[in-house]
A and B are shown apart, each in its own frame.
Chain A
Amino acid sequence: MPIKTSAEFKIEYMQILDESGNVDASLDPKLSNDALLEIYRQMLLARTFDRKCMNLQRQGRMFTYIPVEGQEACQIGSCFALEKSDWIVPAFRETAAYIARGMPIKTLSYYWMGSEKGNSAPKDVNAFPVSIPVGSQMLHAVGIGWAAKLKKHRTIALTFFGDGATSEGDFYEAINFAGVFKAQMIFLCQNNGWAISIPRSKQTATQTLAQKGIAAGIYSLQVDGMDVLAVYKATKDAAERARKGEGATLIECLTYRLGPHSTSDDPKKYRNQEEADSWKKKDPVDRFKLYLQKKGIWNEALEQKLQADADALVENGIKEAEGDNVPKLEDMFDYVYAEMPLVLKEQYEELKQIENEKKAAGE
């Protein structure tokens, strides 16, 4: 009997804006000028805050910080395709995504300043907290998208994760559940080529990460992660499919973290400068600016105004956070349970008493 082919798959790759800022008219999502400028505003704000955080960490005003520089298109492009009632479920490098969703600079600052207030999004921002344990958060997005489907809501969930995260068992469980239950959600993979010191090639033997989604029976594709329009369009299409009940999508964004893994990391130990330099030429903010310029809606005066606004927002947010950030013993005991159990109350009172004794002893 001849051997037959049981199934065949392919992975498509989408780029809309090339490195010189030219747009592919057939794929252009045709956003309004206002929308385009809003995307640019968010990108500048994210980059300004990100660089500021790196500086504050060096000055000891923040603890460890995880920079986003290079990945702004992935986060802002995808969030721009969401509706207000949708949810994002980030990992730990999603500062730009939080900004795009309207998280106050003050709250973001609290987190990296090591304050408990930093994980609490305002009521009108549908965002899960930072998720440090790699890969664990994707399942939550599947759960949200599944529940929304059961409740017949149009809400979808979008989860962010890295190339490294696709090695965790939780990732495979998440794509599998999403496939089985046709959850209304999106897997937004930021393949930045590195998981701390481990290159993508040592993470998995597959050609692409996107094909893992195919293995779970969900629609999957690759996009240029330095191209904000491509990320936007892929997310918009995925969101539409999800809202129509056609299930989840996995979008693999090919991107790069231009900075270190975190402020405690030294990339010189494991990657060469030429690689970083070659990616710097694809910088998502520069490329988008070039496009806006070609389109005739950007000029130097606008740049200066947007930058001044971003600077002011960042300065104010940080000032507010630093102005109200004295740690209090009760912060640690609040919100452990809906109601504080008696045993906890007693422990709190004992520690409070010790605090007072310390003060009296001049410590």
Chain B
Amino acid sequence: MPVEKMNLVQAINACLAQEMERDPNILLMGEDVGVDGGVFRVTDGLQAKFGPERVVDSPLAESGIAGTAIGMAAYGMRPVIEMQFDGFAYFALHQLVLHAAKMRNRTRGRITVPLVVRAPFGGGIRALELHCEPIEISFINTPGIKVVCPSNPYDAKGLLASALQEKDPVLFLEPKRLYRAFKDDVPTERFTVPIGEAKIAREGKDVTIISYGAMTRTCLNTADNIKSEIDCEVVDLRTLSPLDEKTILDSAKKTGRVVVVHEAPKSGGFGGELAALIAEKALMNLQAPIQRVTAPDVPVPLAKLEEFYIPDEFRISRAIRNAMHF
């Protein structure tokens, strides 16, 4: 397949354009996604190409966006809605959690909601207050909606293509720190990356690091920098719900030492779930306590304190050593 160098923004944009060509029922909706092309320019040029009926600048109302998209999806369209920043998805929480996620189950399959919710996700860009809220756990803990979080342009294009053929609602979290951070070789033609499959982003034998989104990059860099000392395997979850237990457990059993890393606070965070899973199903293979590297249990601080909040290589390598030398 021919490839092109694309960053995350370009890969998502290319995927949306391709999918809209393929399926006339796909419609994009959100605040500033049309004329402006999105505040991160992810939907740039799409309104010019597909017109204002398919790339819709909506009124400023997340609950309105999500709620009407539910009706549209039930009526045979495929809305892709944008929450302008992760924190504002909370304004749509009742629509997504109480309606989108439960419709299939409540109607015994009579009505379904094939809806994709895109949201720039996570910190690291010194953004304004409340523009970097770790929202994933609210949705991971909501049965009926799938949660996807790519860590690179290639996976983003493939996963979004899959999401647009899903039968269930999908929350698609786009690590905003990676939007323009680097480029990948990404096939220009359509391809898919299956939802529900984690990836071994780096093979190693000593310690398993499990992460997702922007933190995967930090973990990969850490693994590279520590490789003469410790040989790390990095599991990139890619889909947070439903979870690929097998890839996680196989790696944990192989190395016997596990570090989980995420930006969200520790208590009640996804790291706890991952640790519990491994403790339940692979305890006897472990040679050290599972290490969690997360934000502390505090509100996301303003930009000046971001570096204290988000796990960095120093903290991750420290946890790797703790696991290794237990």
A336-B303 contact given A167-B64, A195-B60, A354-B315, CB 8 Å threshold: no
Q: Nearest CB to that of B90 among chain A residues?
A: A133
Which residues on B sit within 8 Å (CB–CB) of A203? 59-60
A177-210 interface code vs B (CB 8 A; 1 in, 0 out): 0000000000000000001111000111000000
A128: Cβ under 8 A from any B Cβ: no
Q: Is the CB of B61 within 8 A of A116?
A: no
**Contact residues of B between 278 and 320, Cβ < 8 Å to A:** 296-299, 301-309, 314-315, 318
A279: Cβ under 8 A from any B Cβ: no
Q: Is the CB of A198 within 8 A of B31?
A: yes
Residue among A116, A132, A167, A325 making CB contact with B301, cutoff 8 Å: A116
A327-B129 contact given A197-B35, A198-B60, A333-B298, CB 8 Å threshold: no
Task: For the complex, count residues of A whose C-beta is within 8 A of B.
Answer: 49
A357-B128 contact given A167-B61, A270-B35, CB 8 Å threshold: no
A133-B297 contact given A64-B127, A329-B308, CB 8 Å threshold: no
Which residues on B sit within 8 Å (CB–CB) of A134? 60, 88
B58-79 interface code vs A (CB 8 A; 1 in, 0 out): 0111111000000000000000
Which of A4-12, A224-232, A293-301, A343-351 is found at the contact surface with chain B?
A343-351
A269: Cβ under 8 A from any B Cβ: yes
Which residues on A sit within 8 Å (CB–CB) of B91? 133, 136, 168-169
Q: Is the CB of B305 within 8 A of A169?
A: no
Q: Is the CB of B57 within 8 A of A132?
A: no
A114: Cβ under 8 A from any B Cβ: yes
Which residues on B sit within 8 Å (CB–CB) of A141? none
Q: Is the CB of B302 within 8 A of A198?
A: no
B267: Cβ under 8 A from any A Cβ: yes
Residue among B36, B88, B304 making CB contact with A114, cutoff 8 Å: B304
A105-126 interface code vs B (CB 8 A; 1 in, 0 out): 0000001011110100000000
Q: Is the CB of B314 within 8 A of A165?
A: no
Which residues on B sit within 8 Å (CB–CB) of A336? 297-299
Q: In the complex, what's the smallest C-beta–C-beta distance from B129 to chain A, in angstroms?
A: 5
- The answer for the CA separation of A87 and B134 in the assembled complex, in Å, is 31
A63: Cβ under 8 A from any B Cβ: yes
A343-B267 contact given A270-B36, A354-B315, A357-B318, CB 8 Å threshold: yes
- The answer for the CA separation of A56 and B127 in the assembled complex, in Å, is 16
A264: Cβ under 8 A from any B Cβ: yes
A83: Cβ under 8 A from any B Cβ: no
B126: Cβ under 8 A from any A Cβ: yes
Q: In the complex, what's the smallest C-beta–C-beta distance from B221 to chain A, in angstroms?
A: 14
Which residues on A sit within 8 Å (CB–CB) of B129? 130, 132
Which residues on A sit within 8 Å (CB–CB) of B181? none
**Contact residues of B between 152 and 209, Cβ < 8 Å to A:** none
Q: Is the CB of B128 within 8 A of A132?
A: yes
A293-336 interface code vs B (CB 8 A; 1 in, 0 out): 00000000000000000000000000000000101010111001
A135-B60 contact given A168-B91, A264-B39, CB 8 Å threshold: yes
Q: Nearest CB to that of B126 among chain A residues?
A: A63
Q: Nearest CB to that of A165 among chain B residues?
A: B60
Q: In the complex, what's the smallest C-beta–C-beta distance from A94 to chain B, in angstroms?
A: 14
B87: Cβ under 8 A from any A Cβ: yes
Which residues on A sit within 8 Å (CB–CB) of B302? 111, 114-116, 118
- The answer for the CA separation of A133 and B89 in the assembled complex, in Å, is 10
A274: Cβ under 8 A from any B Cβ: no
Which residues on A sit within 8 Å (CB–CB) of B131? 132
A196-B298 contact given A63-B126, A64-B128, A202-B57, CB 8 Å threshold: no
Which residues on A sit within 8 Å (CB–CB) of B130? 132-133
A358-B57 contact given A114-B126, A133-B88, A336-B298, CB 8 Å threshold: no
B233: Cβ under 8 A from any A Cβ: no
Question: Which of B36, B127, B130, B318 gathers the greatest number of chain A CB atoms within 10 Å?
Answer: B36
Q: Nearest CB to that of A355 among chain B residues?
A: B308
Which residues on B sit within 8 Å (CB–CB) of A363? 314
B82: Cβ under 8 A from any A Cβ: no
Residue among A115, A168, A264 making CB contact with B304, cutoff 8 Å: A115
Q: Is the CB of A344 within 8 A of B303?
A: no
- The answer for the CA separation of A81 and B189 in the assembled complex, in Å, is 62
Residue among B34, B297, B303 making CB contact with A347, cutoff 8 Å: B297
A133-B63 contact given A333-B298, A343-B267, A354-B318, CB 8 Å threshold: no
- The answer for the CA separation of A351 and B299 in the assembled complex, in Å, is 16
A67: Cβ under 8 A from any B Cβ: no
A164: Cβ under 8 A from any B Cβ: yes
Q: Is the CB of A354 within 8 A of B36?
A: no
Which residues on A sit within 8 Å (CB–CB) of B32? 196-198
B37: Cβ under 8 A from any A Cβ: yes
- The answer for the CA separation of A264 and B64 in the assembled complex, in Å, is 26
Residue among A64, A132, A196, A332 making CB contact with B296, cutoff 8 Å: A332
Q: Is the CB of A269 within 8 A of B315?
A: no
A167-B59 contact given A132-B128, A327-B304, A331-B305, CB 8 Å threshold: yes
Q: Is the CB of B61 within 8 A of A168?
A: yes
Q: Is the CB of B308 within 8 A of A332?
A: yes
Q: Is the CB of A269 within 8 A of B35?
A: yes
Which residues on A sit within 8 Å (CB–CB) of B298? 332-333, 336, 344
18 A-B pairs in the complex with CB atoms less than 8 angstroms apart: A63-B126, A114-B126, A168-B61, A169-B64, A195-B31, A269-B37, A327-B305, A329-B305, A329-B308, A332-B298, A333-B298, A347-B296, A347-B297, A351-B308, A354-B318, A357-B314, A358-B314, A361-B314
Instruction: List 4 additional A-B contacts (Cβ < 8 Å) besides A331-B305, A332-B301.
Output: A114-B303, A168-B91, A264-B39, A332-B296
4 pairs of A and B residues whose beta carbons are closest in the complex: A114-B303, A197-B36, A167-B59, A164-B60
Interface residues of A (CB under 8 A from B): 63-64, 92, 111, 113-116, 118, 130, 132-136, 164-165, 167-169, 195-198, 202-204, 262, 264-265, 269-270, 325, 327, 329, 331-333, 336, 343-344, 347-348, 351, 354, 357-358, 361, 363
